[in-house]
Structure 1
C-alpha cells in the first residue's frame, strides 16, 4: 500500500464532497493537552459537557485499537446573513450564535466523515476507522492544531489562515500510518482583542478559558443564570460570538460554501415574545434542526426573558406576568420575576407583589424579592 498516494487521493476526494480543509497527524498521545486539562479540572474551569475521562481525551489508542494517525477536517460557515432582519421597539429579537446557523453542524460533519470512511474502505477494506464531531472523546481543536488546520488562538478557537475561526471541526482516527502534516505557526502575537472583548472575563489569559463564566456555556445551562452574568447576556439566546468578532483574523471572513449552513433570519434572529409561548412540539418543529436547540426550549425561553429585560421592553410585561403566574418551571418563574423588576413599571410591580403573596417555592420568592428591589432602585433614582 502506498500511503502517501492514498493520502493524496483522500485530499482530492475531500474537496469533491465539500470538506474545505483537511489535515493529517499522528495518533500519539496529546501530552501537553493532558497537563492543561488536569489544570482546568483543578481550577474548576470545565463546563461539565466534556468527556470526563481525561485519558480518553488525550490517548487516541484507547479509542481505536492500533491507532496510527488522525485525519482532521474543517468546514467553513457564514459569518453574515444574506438577508437581515432588525428588531424594533415592541418587536425585539434575540440571536443565535453563528455556529448554530443552518442545520446542526454535528449532522453535516458526520455525513462528510461517513463519506470519507466509505471512500477509505473502498481503497483499503481492512482499515479501521473511528470518526467523531464535538461530542466525541478527543479535543477537536487539539487534533486540528496538530494536523495543521490552524493555530489555537488566545480565544481558545482554531484560527485558520483561510477562513479565520469560522470553521466546524471533526476528526477520524485510523490505523493507517499517514505521514503527518506540519502545524501552523501561532500568529496571535501580542494581540489581546479577544480577551478584552469577552463580556464576562471568561478568557482568563490567552489560551485559557473558565467555561463557568463563558456566555456560550451559560446560555446552554438549565439553571437560573447567576446574578453577575444576567446583565451580560444581552440578547443572546444561544452561544456567544464576541471573542470571534473581535479577532482581526476574522475581519472580512464570510463564506457561503454550504447550502445547509445558510441561516434563516427569522429562525436565528427570532422575535423574543413569541418564544415564551411555544409548546415543546412547536419549538422542535421550528428550531429543532439547529445545533442551538439541543438543550430544549427552556434555556432558550429563559435567555429570551433576560433579553427582554436587557431591552427593558415594557410591551413584554403581560407575557412575563403570564410566565410568572402559570409556568411550572422554577427557573422560568424566577427569571420572569427578575425580568419584570428589571423592566419596571406599575403593571410589573403589581404582578410581583401579587406573586409574592401566592408563591410557595423559596427559590422563586428570592427572585421576586430581587425583582421588587430592582423596581425600588429604579423609583429611588
Structure 2
C-alpha cells in the first residue's frame, strides 16, 4: 500500500467534507505530557472532568491495539456574531463562550471523523480506527501540537497560523502507518497578554492552567460558586473567552465556514431573568443543541443570578426574591441571597430578613447572613 499517496488523498477528501486543517502524528507515547500531567495532579490543578488514568491519556497503545499513527483535525469556528442582540436595563443578557456557539461541536466533529473513517475504509478495508473529540482519553491539544495543527499557546489553547485559536479539535488513532507531519514552532515569544488578562489568575504561567480557578471550569460546576470568583464572572453563563480575545494571534480572525456553527443570538446571549425559572423542557428547547448545555440548567441558572448582580439589576429583584423563598435547590436560594444583597436596597434587606426566619440549610443561612451584614 502506498501510504504517501493515501495520505494525499485523505488530505484532499478532508477539504471536501469541511475539515479546515488536518495533520498526521506518530502514535508513540506522549512522554513529556505525562510529566506535566503528573505535576498538575500534584498541584491539584486538574478540573476533574479529565480521564482519571494518566497513563491512558499519554499512551495510545493502552486504548487501541497496535496503533501506528494518529490523524488530527481542526474546524474553525466564528468569533463574531452577524446578528448580535444587545441587552439593556430591564432586559439584561448573559453570554455563552464562542466555543459553545452553534451546534454542539462534539456532534459536528464526530460527523467529519466518521466520514473520514468511511473514506479510508473504502481505500483500505482492514483499517481500524478510534476517533474521539474532547471527551476521549487522549489530550486533544497534545495530539494537535504533534501533528502540526498549531502550537500550544501560553493560554493553553492550540493556536493555528490560519485560524488563530478559534478551532475545535478531534483525532483518530489508526493502525495505518502514515508519515508524521512536523510540529510548528511556538510563536508566542515574550507575549504575556493572556496571562495578564486572566480574570482569576488561573493561568499560572505560560502553558500551565489551574483549572479550578478558571472561569470556564467554574461556570460548569453545580455547587455554590466560591465567593472570591463571583464578581469576576461578569455576565458569563458558560465558558470564558478572555485569554483568546486578548491574543494577538486572534486579531481580526473570524471565520464563518460551517453553517451549523453559526450562533443564534437569542441562544448564546439569552435574557437573564427568564432563565431563573426556566423548566427543564424549556431549557432543552432553547439550549439543547449547544455544547454549553451539557451540565444541564442548574449551573446556567446560578450563573444568571450572579450576572444579574453584576448589572445591579433592580428590576430582577422580584424573580430573585421568588427564587430565594421558593426554589427547592439550596444552591439557587443561596446564590439568590448573594445576588439580592449585591443589588441592594430596602426591598433586598426585607427579603433577606424574611428568608432568614424560615431557612434551614446552613450554607443558605450563611449566604443570607452575609448579605444582611453587607446591607447594614
Q: Report if TM-score (shorter chain) is over 0.5.
A: yes
Tell me how far apart the structure 1 counterparts of residues 204 and 126 of structure 2 sit (CA, whole Å): 46
Residue 30 (structure 1) aligns with: 30
Residue 269 of structure 2: aligned partner: 269
- TM-superposed deviation, 1:374: 2.2
Q: CA separation in 2, counterparts of 1:345 and 1:288? A: 37
Question: Which residue of structure 2 lines up, in the alignment, with residue 326 of structure 1?
Answer: 326
Provide the alpha-carbon RMSD of the alignment.
0.5
Alpha-carbon distance between aligned partners in 1 of 2:237 and 2:38, rounded to the nearest angstrom = 31
After TM superposition, list the pairs within 5 Å mapping 1:231-270 onto structure 2.
231-270=231-270
2:5 corresponds to which residue?
5
- Say if 2:151 is the partner of 1:154: no
CA shift digits 1:64-104 (9 cap, x unpaired)? 10101000000000000001111111111000000000000
The equivalences for 1:282-301 within 5 A come to: 282-301=282-301
The answer to whether structure 1 residue 348 and structure 2 residue 348 are counterparts is yes
Instruction: Confirm or deny: 8 A CA contact 1:341 1:373 kept in the other structure.
Output: no
CA distance in 2, matches of 1:206, 1:97: 22
Deviation at 1:229, TM superposition (A): 0.2
Aligned partner of 1:379 in structure 2 is none
CA deviations on 1:304-335 (whole Å, 9 max, x unpaired) are: 00000000000000000010111011100000
Residue in 1 that maps onto 2:101: 101
State the distance in 2 between where 1:375 and 1:249 align: 45
Q: CA deviation at 1:346?
A: 1.0
Instruction: Determine the C-alpha separation between the residues in 1 that align with 2:230 and 2:224.
Output: 9
Partner of 1:72: 72
Which runs of no fewer than 5 residues in structure 2 stay unpaired?
Answer: none
Distance 1:259 1:77 in 2: 10
1:213-232 equivalences in 2 (<5 Å):
213-232=213-232
* In structure 2, distance between residues paired with 1:11 and 1:317: 56
Residue aligned with 1:71, SS:
strand
Alpha-carbon distance in 2 for matches of 1:47, 1:13: 36
- Other-structure match for 2:44: 44
Match of 1:311 in 2: 311
Residue 201 (structure 1) aligns with = 201
SS of structure 1 residue aligned to 2:253: coil
SS in structure 2 at match of 1:138: coil
Is 1:336 matched with 2:336?
A: yes
- Equivalent-residue separation in structure 2 for 1:372 and 1:248 (angstroms): 44
CA contact (8 A) 1:337 1:368 kept: yes
SS at structure 2 position matched to 1:221: coil
* Residue-by-residue CA offset, 1:48-72 (whole Å, 9 max, x unaligned): 0000000000000111101010000
Distance 2:371 2:106 in 1: 39
> What displacement does 1:373 show?
2.0
> TM-score, structure 2 length as denominator?
1.00
CA distance in 1, matches of 2:349, 2:214: 32
Task: State the SS of the aligned residue for 2:338.
Answer: helix
Which consecutive unaligned segments of at least 5 residues does structure 1 have?
377-381
CA deviation map 1:214-237 (0-9, x unaligned): 000000000100010000000000
TM-score, with length taken from structure 1: 0.98
